[in-house]
Structures are given as C-alpha cells and as structure tokens.
Chain A
Amino acid sequence: MKRPKVQWRKVSKKSRMSMAAAVVATGLLVTACGSSSSPGAGNSSGNLTGPATKAPVKIGVSVSLSGDFSGDGQAIENGYKLWENYVNQHGGLLGRPVKFIFLNDASSTSQVVTNYQTLINMDHVDLVFGPFSSLLTTPAATIANRYGYAFPEPAGGGPAVFQAKLPNLVFVQPAPVVDNLVSFAHWILSLPASQRPKTAAYATEDDPFTKPQLQVAKQLLEQAGVKTVYYHVYPAETTDYSPIAAGVINSKAQVVLLGTQLPDAVAFVQQFEQQHYSPEALVETSGPDQGSQFSKAVGAANTQGIMVPAGWWYGAKTDGNQTFMDAYLKAYGGTVGSISADAAEAWSVGQVVQQAVEHTHSIDNKKIIQALHSMTFNTIQGPLKFNSVGEPNGETFLVQWQNGKAVPVYPASIATASPLYPKPNWKS
C-alpha cells in the first residue's frame, strides 16, 4: 500500500526532529563523558562548611531487587543505606554528605553493565560500590575499571572475579570464596582419628560461588584419606532436588558438604529429614548464614548442628560491630540472629572506603585504588588486607547452629562454643 505523501512528510519531520534531539543528546553525553574523564576528582579539599551544605559524594550501586538474587540484593541495599545514615551522622566523607544512587539490575548480567554505565556517565557518581554475586561483579567491575573507578565490592568472591585481574577491585570479605570451606575441612581433619569420618558426599549447584568451594574442600579431605562416596554437580536452575538428595542419602556418607544457596539449602534439609538421614556433619556453603530466613524455613529445631562458613558474626568483637547491629535492629527490627551477613558485608565496604578516603584525603578514584591495595582496614568482619587483584588474605571461620543460634565453633581462636559432633538427629 502506498503511503500518502502528506503523512510521509509528517513522519519525515518527526524523524528529523528525533535525529536532531539525538544529536543534541549525544553532544551532551560526549560533553558529560568528557567532564567525567577524571572520575571523582571533584571537590574534596577544604572543610569550611558542614556536610549538609556541601555537594554530596554520590555513590552509585546496582542492586538486585528482583530475580534470582533479590533476597541478597535487598540485604545489600539495606547494609549500604545503614552505612550512608551512619556516615552522614558522623560528618560524612571529608566533610561532604554521602548520597547513594541505587539502580535495580533484576539479577541480570547485561542490566548490571547498563546500570554502572548509567551511574558513571549519566549520574556522574563520585564512587561506585559493588552488587551481589560473583556473576554480576565481574562484568560490573570491568566497566568500572574502564572508566577508572575503584570497585570495592561485598559479595563477588568467586575465582572468576580474581581471574579477571582487575586492578580496581577489592573483595571486602576475609577470604576468597574458594577457601570458604577450608575451615570446615581443617576442623574435620583436626578430629581424633577414632572420631574422624571416613566417607564424604558432595553435591553442588553449577555456580561460580559454590562449586569451587566444594572442589577445594574435597581435595583437602581426599588427601587426608576421607573417601568420596558421592559427588555430583546440578544445574543452578534445578527446582526438584529429590533425586540428588536421594543420591546423597543412598551413599550413606558420614559427612555431607553441599554447595547451596538458600532454596536448595532448605530443600536438602527437608529431604534428609523426610528420609530420616542425619549425617554426622552437614555443612552448606550458603543458606544457614541467612539467620531467621533459614531457621523459619527449616524449622528452628532442625537447625541444630548445621554448619556454614562465615566471615561476619554478630557476636564478634570487631571494629564497629555493635554500632552496625544497633543501627540494623533500629532500622529493620528483629533479633541479632536475624541480621543478614550480606548487610554486614555491605557496611564493611563503606568502612573500607571511608578509611581509604580519610587516608588519602581525597575522593580521587586513582588514589583510592592505590590505598585499597596497600592499607589494612578495620571492619566489622575483622582486619582486612587485599592483594593486587583484590583477593583478601584472611580466613573465614566455621559457624554452627546450636540451640536456635548460629555460633562460631572453629578455629578455636574465635570459637565461642565447641562444635557439636556428631550432629544430633532431626527433631520433628
């Protein structure tokens, strides 16, 4: 069908206007990019006026408020917001108030890239902080590195993150994720020979966070003579865990190590209970660290004896921990046991950056990146130090649920209770 001439002209005029608008927008964007070529090198000196009257330090973060990571993403945002309030009540950063800009990435690796580009190019943030998960951290940190931004991040500690060898990234937890189960393996191997288990079963999501942890633990235990009687990797999108649980149960392993997030951590406990299978020790990479989310889902009585590696614990006498917990409980309610470790890790990112900024007397990202790789930082997760690719050099500890609370049980230097071994039977 022929299009009427008049209508074509209308469309053409519209197109020309759109093109003109696009050109203007592109021009503005180019100008904007030009002005942000030295990110965060803005107003950082002098302290003549109070924080409220100075231009805020804008910090951009992409958070997963929907999709697979929504629970953790929300907790990360909560932690950042708490630190924002805290730091603003205590003079801000170099006398400037802190203002966070959050964008939702819906747990998508492409959206997280778009978000950081938007934060840097459109919002002209001074600093960026990391999102949740190794999956989102790697592409996000790569973008930040391209623009010269430091990338302190709370929750991307899988091997793939460090393999990228990004000079701007630091993982603000005590140890690389791959070593999270080392403390569990060391504890098992520290048991007297008569008690030490002889068989172990492993099952893990095909996920860069969980799988490497199990492989390291498996290697350590096998080298010490603990026989592997079951090892299977299952797709991350699995929703029916019953055949995998059946395989673990059928192996009759004395010790079970599971590479889980919260949904499968809960599902395995439920399946084991249904099948009346209680291993002598059960550790899950994630899930049992989620406080009341975990205990409500599996039933408080059934948490008894379940273990999880952790970098933060509510009872730890670390720098600012009580301040963080008070702020958390005031803002979100609940009990100390219900505080998500994600929020604590996000708060720690704020602590690290604050110390780097105060040390360099600057919001300049280049200087901050140098400081991040040279200083030792006091955080609510304990003292942290990072190598050239952002790996922390500390060690996580082992937490066990005992009488409805998660308590550190290994190593002895931080333990507040002895490990329950063997794990008691299921209660209901």
Chain B
Amino acid sequence: MPDGQFHQAKGDNVMHLVIEAVIMGILTGGVYALMASGLTLIFGVMDIINVGQGALVVMGAYLSYALEQHLHVDLIVGLLITMPLMFLVGVGIQWVLIRPLKKDRTMLSIMVTFGLALLIEGVLGAIFTTNFVQLQAWYTTASVDIAGIHVAYIYMFSFALAVIFLAALYWVLYRTRFGQAIRASMQNRTAAQLIGINVDWVQAVTFGLGTALAAAGGMAFGAINAFDPGSSYDLISRLLVVIILGGMGSLGGAMIAALIMLTVEDFIAVAWSPVWSTLVFFAILVIVLLVRPQGMFGRPEGRKQ
C-alpha cells in the first residue's frame, strides 16, 4: 500500500475509533448517571452524603442476579420486582439509620452510611460468596451494526433506562405535589415544616426513590461488569466525583457530569492512552471547581439552613 493511502487508512481507523469511543462514552455515561442520580437526589433533599450508594448499587445487581439465576427472570423485567423492593429497603434505612441523626447530619451520615456499606458488603458476601458474577441475558453480548460500529444492546437499553427513569424523576419533582414537597424540603427544611409538609415522610420516600434508582443502576452495572460484594469501593468514588462535578443536589448536573466523565475518559483512552484518561478528567474537574466551586449546576450558597 502506498504511503499516502496507508496514512489515509490509518487516519480513517483512528477517526472510527474516536467516534466509537465517544458513542460508548455517552452510553456508559447514562449508566453512571442512573447510579449517581439517587446519590444526588438524597443529598439534595436530606443533606446526606450517602457513601453507601455504591453498596446499594451492588445490592441491586445481586437482586437482579438472584432473580435471573433462581427464577429465570429477565433483567429488565426483574426491575419491576427489584426497584419496589429496594424502595422499601431505602425507606427502612432512612427510618432506622438516618432519621435519628438530628445534629451534624451531613458529617454523621458519612459514617453511618459507610457502616451501612460495610454491613451490606458482609451480608452479600455471606449470601452470595465473594466470587465474581455477571448478569446474563441475550442482550448482554449481542450488538447492532450502526454505520460500521457495533453498539451493544445492553449499552443502548441501559442508556434508555437512564433517560426514562431520570425523565420520570423530573416529572415527579416538577409536576406533582409530592415533587413540590421534595423541592420545598430541599430549599428550606424548617420553612417546609412550617407550612405543614411532613419532612420526615418526604425524606423517607426520597431515600427510597434514591435506593430504587440504585437497583436500576445496579442491574445495568452488573450486566456490563463482573462484580463481587466489594465492587462498591471503586464505584462510590466515581459516583461522588460525578455529583461533585455536576453540582451536589442537581439531577441534571449528575447526568451531564456522568456523560462528560465517561466521554472524556473514553476519548483520551483511545486518542492518547488509558493511563491518562482518568488524569485528564480529574484535571478538568479541578479546573471546573476552581471556577465554580459549587460544581456545574450546584447552588453557590450550598445547603445552609
């Protein structure tokens, strides 16, 4: 092959790779947005930094695994069971562990939810062993050819789920009376109580919603990655980064930050090197926080009440 043609072919190859990386980044970003949405929602309403969110995601993945293995329930259909179940788990956690925290809630919540994460990891290890597992369905390995790029169904379905659930959450927040109560609690807890909103109830339901979203995120995560009860450690650090970049408490921010994180990382990994992908993303994070300490869509006054 003449040199010119070779370079042309190589250039086309790289361009193909970059386009593929950007598409995969966007689709995987949707999965991370789904996992992080519960975290940011809970912080927004409750001033709680739920470092147990990663463990709840893994728990959601294990619930899907149990349904798939023992009852042969399809992963996506199984969400009809796992999400309500995890909603109840979330309400229970809020009622038993979070509600009693009256002072220094934000700081104490980190310790309490970290303890919760360890507890969940231990229980999952005892039930499912510490062996790695992965969720299986026909769409976890199948893909569709779009303009020469094989896009896996699992990524497309997960992205679609992320869009549907986040849109539904927006609808609840901005189109329902319960959403108004949530937003009122987010803006000023004391004032919300004064106008008759049962803030404890709102918070319990919000924690339940955040945990139910973790079930959906867990299903997507477990279908893309092999996981074990300890998989939450790497996960929670990335989810916290997502909500810090997006602005803590901002749902839209979490979505956009997740897309930026994964797209930048995937792009750098193919265009430069996987070693630099995380570093470049964190450099972007630092620059954004220098300019906007509250994150892209966070409120400057923070959560003072």
Interface residues of A (CB under 8 A from B): 65-68, 70-71, 73-74, 107, 206, 232-235, 237-240, 242-244, 246-247, 250, 262-263, 266-267, 270, 273-276, 290, 293, 296-299, 302, 426, 428
Question: Are A428's CB and B125's CB within 8 A?
Answer: no
9 cross-chain pairs, A with B, having the tightest CB-CB distances, nearest first:
A243-B269, A234-B274, A70-B130, A274-B152, A297-B134, A266-B226, A263-B226, A243-B266, A274-B143
The residue from B24, B230, B234 contacting A242, defined by CB atoms under 8 A apart: B24
In the complex, what residues of A have CB within 8 A of residue B273's CB? 232-233
In the complex, what residues of B have CB within 8 A of residue A238's CB? 274, 278
- Give the residue name and chain of the A residue nearest to B151 (CB): A274
Residue B270 CB within 8 A of the other chain: yes
Residue B188 CB within 8 A of the other chain: no
Question: Are A276's CB and B143's CB within 8 A?
Answer: yes
In the complex, what residues of B have CB within 8 A of residue A235's CB? 274-275, 278
Q: Using an 8 Å CB-CB cutoff, how does the interface string of B120-150 with A read, 1 for contact, 0 for none?
A: 0110010001111110101011110000001
A216 nearest CB across to chain B (Å): 20
A273 to B142, CA, bound (A): 8
Question: Are A243's CB and B226's CB within 8 A?
Answer: no
B32 nearest CB across to chain A (Å): 9
Stretch from B13-21, B73-81, B106-114, B200-208 contacting the other chain: B13-21
A172 nearest CB across to chain B (Å): 22
The residue from B122, B138, B229, B235 contacting A239, defined by CB atoms under 8 A apart: B235
In the complex, what residues of A have CB within 8 A of residue B130's CB? 65-66, 70-71, 73-74
Q: A235-B275, A247-B270, A274-B142 in contact; A67/B230 too (CB < 8 A)?
A: yes
Question: Are B230's CB and A233's CB within 8 A?
Answer: no
In the complex, what residues of B have CB within 8 A of residue A234's CB? 269, 274-275
In the complex, what residues of A have CB within 8 A of residue B16's CB? 250
Question: Are A240's CB and B141's CB within 8 A?
Answer: no
A68 to B131, CA, bound (A): 11
In the complex, what residues of A have CB within 8 A of residue B21's CB? 242-243, 246
Question: Are A428's CB and B13's CB within 8 A?
Answer: no
In the complex, what residues of A have CB within 8 A of residue B141's CB? 270, 273-274, 299, 302, 426, 428
Q: A242-B28, A263-B226, A297-B132 are in contact. List 6 more A-B contacts (CB 8 A).
A: A66-B121, A70-B125, A243-B269, A266-B226, A428-B141, A428-B142
A233 to B272, CA, bound (A): 12
Question: Are B226's CB and A262's CB within 8 A?
Answer: yes
In the complex, what residues of B have CB within 8 A of residue A273's CB? 141
In the complex, what residues of B have CB within 8 A of residue A274's CB? 141-143, 150, 152
Q: A250-B13, A250-B17, A270-B141 in contact; A240/B266 too (CB < 8 A)?
A: yes
Question: Are B270's CB and A246's CB within 8 A?
Answer: yes
Q: Which B74-99 residues have C-beta < 8 A from chain A?
A: none
In the complex, what residues of B have CB within 8 A of residue A299's CB? 136, 141
B64 nearest CB across to chain A (Å): 14
Q: A240-B266, A274-B142, A296-B133 in contact; A71/B20 too (CB < 8 A)?
A: no
In the complex, what residues of A have CB within 8 A of residue B132's CB? 71, 262-263, 266, 290, 293, 297
Residue B178 CB within 8 A of the other chain: no
A107 to B121, CA, bound (A): 14
A156 to B33, CA, bound (A): 38
Could you pull out 11 A-B pairs where Cβ atoms are within 8 angstroms? A66-B125, A66-B229, A67-B230, A68-B230, A234-B269, A246-B17, A250-B17, A262-B226, A276-B150, A296-B133, A297-B132
In the complex, what residues of A have CB within 8 A of residue B235's CB? 239
- Give the residue name and chain of the A residue nearest to B28 (CB): A240
A233 to B278, CA, bound (A): 13
The residue from A65, A68, A275 contacting B125, defined by CB atoms under 8 A apart: A65
Residue B277 CB within 8 A of the other chain: yes
Residue B265 CB within 8 A of the other chain: yes
- Give the residue name and chain of the A residue nearest to B139 (CB): A274
A242 to B155, CA, bound (A): 11
In the complex, what residues of B have CB within 8 A of residue A107's CB? 230
Q: Which B30-70 residues have C-beta < 8 A from chain A?
A: none
A234 to B274, CA, bound (A): 5
In the complex, what residues of B have CB within 8 A of residue A67's CB? 230, 233
In the complex, what residues of A have CB within 8 A of residue B25's CB? 243
In the complex, what residues of A have CB within 8 A of residue B150's CB? 274-276
- Give the residue name and chain of the B residue nearest to A340 (CB): B131
The residue from A71, A242, A262, A293 contacting B266, defined by CB atoms under 8 A apart: A242
In the complex, what residues of B have CB within 8 A of residue A237's CB? 234, 278
A242 to B265, CA, bound (A): 11
In the complex, what residues of A have CB within 8 A of residue B266's CB? 240, 242-243
A274 to B122, CA, bound (A): 33
The residue from B121, B134, B228, B277 contacting A71, defined by CB atoms under 8 A apart: B228
A185 nearest CB across to chain B (Å): 24
Question: Are A233's CB and B275's CB within 8 A?
Answer: yes
In the complex, what residues of A have CB within 8 A of residue B17's CB? 246-247, 250
Q: Using an 8 Å CB-CB cutoff, how does the interface string of B238-268 with A read, 1 for contact, 0 for none?
A: 1000000000000000000000001001110
- Give the residue name and chain of the B residue nearest to A66 (CB): B230
A267 to B132, CA, bound (A): 12
A287 nearest CB across to chain B (Å): 9
In the complex, what residues of A have CB within 8 A of residue B13's CB? 250
A270 to B231, CA, bound (A): 18
In the complex, what residues of B have CB within 8 A of residue A232's CB? 273-275
Q: A70-B130, A274-B143 in contact; A297/B226 too (CB < 8 A)?
A: yes
In the complex, what residues of B have CB within 8 A of residue A240's CB? 28, 262, 265-266
A266 to B24, CA, bound (A): 18
In the complex, what residues of B have CB within 8 A of residue A276's CB? 143, 150
In the complex, what residues of B have CB within 8 A of residue A426's CB? 141
A234 to B278, CA, bound (A): 10
B65 nearest CB across to chain A (Å): 11
Question: Are A267's CB and B28's CB within 8 A?
Answer: no
Q: A70-B125, A235-B275, A274-B143 in contact; A243/B233 too (CB < 8 A)?
A: no
A65 to B273, CA, bound (A): 33
The residue from B133, B227, B277 contacting A243, defined by CB atoms under 8 A apart: B277
Question: Are A71's CB and B131's CB within 8 A?
Answer: yes
A138 to B226, CA, bound (A): 28
In the complex, what residues of A have CB within 8 A of residue B176's CB? none
A250 to B24, CA, bound (A): 15
Q: A65-B130, A299-B136 in contact; A246/B226 too (CB < 8 A)?
A: no
A237 to B275, CA, bound (A): 11
In the complex, what residues of B have CB within 8 A of residue A263's CB? 132, 225-227, 231
A154 to B160, CA, bound (A): 46
Question: Are A243's CB and B142's CB within 8 A?
Answer: no
Q: Which of B134, B143, B270 has the most CB of A within 10 A?
A: B134
